[in-house]
Amino acid sequence: MNRKTLPASIARVVRALKADLRAKVDVERVEGEDPWPDRFRIAVVSQRFGKMPHLKRQDLLWGIVDRELSREESIAISSILAFSPNELQRAVKA
């Protein structure tokens, strides 16, 4: 998604994820017909996740979100996926 179309709060999280984790970050707007404001899925690819268990990855990611956003702003994030580069390469070959 083009960063220019992102709400300022989501763009702030993307910048923090990139800076803190030296990560590639992709954001997808969640389409839906519910009355909630826009929601987003975030995928983060970082070398730091190489040998890190899934729950520790999530703790790290949501810690960054909590640091950057208020609780009300964080509701806009529906999910954050965490991958190491090697995990993505294996998925493509499968």
pLDDT of residue 90: 65
Tell me the pLDDT tens digit for each residue of 27-57.
Answer: 999 977 766 678 999 999 999 999 999 999 9
Q: From 24, 15, 20, select the one nearest 81 (Cα to Cα).
A: 24
Alpha helix ranges (H) inside the chain: 8-21, 54-68, 71-74, 85-93
In which domain, by residue range, is 41 found?
3-93
- What is the count of structural domains for the chain? 1
> Looking at residue 16, which CATH number applies to its domain?
3.30.300.90
Q: Taking residues 55-69, report their average pLDDT.
A: 98
Task: Indicate the pLDDT class of residue 94, thresholds 50, 70 and 90.
Answer: very low
Q: Assess whether pLDDT exceeds 60 at residue 10.
A: yes
pLDDT of residue 43: 97
